């Protein structure tokens, strides 16, 4: 199940429980609408309450990312799951957007609003 919050060119997506293909398609519709009327969109993905997702969601995400590789500005991902972090790292190779991982909602929101954050050490 997902929850969408759309404000101007920013779309916040919270995933709770199972992330289904129908959920992903709902997200895609919101993004396409935002792109059509706002231009580039920024995304905030809150995946902290996501339990799992299926292979068809992963495949759809890969296709959608490639089709819209230049339609995103910044993408903030809230997660502590290492597999999701790896997936986001992989998506960087298909997209021109800045993608950052966060474990703090306020920091993610500040970065999306245009704030600069220091790069992690190491």
Beta strands at 2-7 and 41-53: parallel, antiparallel or unpaired: unpaired
Domain ranges in the chain?
2-112
- Residue 62: per-residue pLDDT: 84
Report the share of the chain in percent with pLDDT over 70: 84
Provide CATH code, domain 2-112: 3.40.50.10600
Residue 8 clears pLDDT 90, i.e. is over it: no
**DSSP assignment of 31-96, as one string?**
HHHHHHHHSSEEEEEEEEEEEEE-HHHHHHHHHHHHHTTTSEEEEEEE---HHHHHHHHHHTTT--
Eight-state DSSP code of residue 114: T
- Mean pLDDT (the chain) is 86
User: What's the pTM?
Assistant: 0.85
- Residue 93: per-residue pLDDT: 65
Q: Could you read off the pLDDT of 56-80 as tens digits, one per residue? A: 988 898 899 889 989 999 999 998 8
């Amino acid at each position: 199940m997902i929850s969408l919050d759309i404000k101007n060119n920013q779309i916040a997506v919270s995933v709770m429980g199972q992330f289904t293909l129908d959920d992903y398609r709902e997200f895609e519709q919101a993004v396409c609408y935002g792109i059509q009327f706002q231009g580039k969109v920024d995304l905030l993905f809150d995946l902290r309450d996501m339990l799992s997702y299926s292979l068809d969601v992963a495949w759809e995400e890969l296709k959608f990312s490639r089709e819209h590789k230049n339609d995103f500005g910044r993408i903030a991902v809230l997660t502590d799951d290492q597999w999701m972090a790896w997936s986001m790292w992989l998506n960087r190779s298909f997209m021109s957007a800045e993608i950052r991982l966060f474990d703090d909602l306020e920091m993610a929101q500040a970065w999306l609003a245009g704030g600069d954050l220091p790069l992690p050490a190491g």
